[in-house]
Amino acid sequence: MNKNICIANKNINSKSSVFIIAELSANHLQNFDNAVKLIKEAKKSGADAVKLQTYTPDTITLNCDNKYFQIKQGTIWDGTILYKLYEKAYTPWEWQPKLKNIAEAEGLICFSSPFDKSAVDFLEKMNVPAYKIASFEITDIPFIEYVASKGKPVIMSTGIAKLGDIQEAMDACRRVGNNDIILLKCTSEYPSPLEDINLNTIPNMCDTFDVITGISDHTLGQTVSLGAVALGAKVVEKHFTLKRADGGPDAAFSMEPEEFSYMVKGIRDMEKALGNVSYELTEKQIKSREHSRSLFVVKDMKAGEVFTEENVKSIRPGFGLKTKYIDDVLGKKARYDIDRGTPMEWSLIDYYCS
């Protein structure tokens, strides 16, 4: 696995902290000031990056209302046509260089999802540090080749992809010499029901495709993102909004700033808890071992008296002989008078009289 992919100043690898992306999407409501507020709130909320989407209605679909272009797949957008949805959702291209500068001034990484070659060319002029392939573009192999040919890291969501689709997309990147690929487990349902998430796919995806993996999470709340991190996700992407009540095409499955902050804290706490593979004990654990079980004399004994199950027992604390030596003690005789509550030691046994 490529264990070190660099996106701007962020190294993404098996030992680095999780790369947390706030997806701005359509949540600016086509208001530039809102887009700026989203970026600043994402920074306050602990995001590492903000992500834009680079398309226009005309670069992504046709202005056509026949049955093929009507949204009727049981989504939150049913009842309209693709063109009208994207008219409401797209981010004006003239904003994007300005938003990137604002994000970088805030200390955030800024990149985008292009949806056609013209968008890639535009983003190349902006010198974005990475590209995101949206779930619905993962089957567009010539497009993926074009994106990958720019030599930037490619993050791909797999929300509509079968196993073979993922392999074809991987092959497309590698054909043009790009091995800096990150796959995001994704469920293209908005919002996504928990029973359809299948988080256990994340470590399997890592092993199958030999890549860094993460999650693009469209569920409500932080549970799935934290679970993904526990299973090895190194990238977490969540849609971000100022207020769900403001509406917008993606509001229903987006996180507000306070929620995003809680998620970030949860992820950072999870990272601390995951730690490394270790069977060593901390100093506090070593001290706690004093409260483990060991052999103690539990009744007053006279010299020459035989150790039995009545006067030697396994109890807490752990200052006596290990309990595994009980059979070596029983039947032996006491070398001295022994007070009740004395830790059992080899020196208490009279070997000459036993």
In sequence order, what DSSP letters do the residues of 130-193 get, joined into one string?
-EEE-GGGTT-HHHHHHHHTT-S-EEEE-TT--HHHHHHHHHHHHHTT---EEEEEE--SSSPP
d(CA 47, CA 22): 6
Cα 194 from Cα 95, distance rounded (Å): 35
Q: What are phi and psi of 199, to 5 degrees?
A: -60, -25
pLDDT at 76: 66
On average, the pLDDT of the chain sits at 94
Mapped onto helix, strand or coil, the DSSP state of residue 155 is: strand
**Residue 110 · residue 128 · CB < 8 Å:** yes
Position 274: which residue type? L
pLDDT, residue 354, reads: 57
Burial 85-98 (b: 16+ CB within 10 A, else e): bbeebbbebebbee
Q: What share of the chain is helix, strand, coil (3-state, %, to 5)?
A: 40, 20, 40
pLDDT in tens, 223-270: 999 999 999 999 999 999 999 999 888 888 899 999 999 999 999 999
Q: Look at residue 60 and tell me whether its pLDDT is greater than 60.
A: yes
CB 35 within 8 A of CB 89: no
% pLDDT > 70, the chain: 97
Whether 73 shows a pLDDT value over 70: the answer reads no
pTM for the full model?
Answer: 0.89
pLDDT number for residue 1: 52
Packing angle, helices 117-126 and 96-105, rounded to 10: 40
Average the pLDDT over 16-42 and give the result.
Answer: 95
Q: Which domains does the chain have, with CATH numbers?
A: 16-55+90-274 (3.20.20.70), 283-348 (3.90.1210.10)
Neighbours of 273 (CB within 10 A): 9
Q: How confident is the model at residue 67 (pLDDT cuts 50, 70, 90)?
A: confident
Q: What is the mean pLDDT of residues 106-123?
A: 98
- Residue 72: the pLDDT is 78
pLDDT interval class at 65 (50, 70, 90): confident
Q: What's the confidence (pLDDT) of residue 212?
A: 96
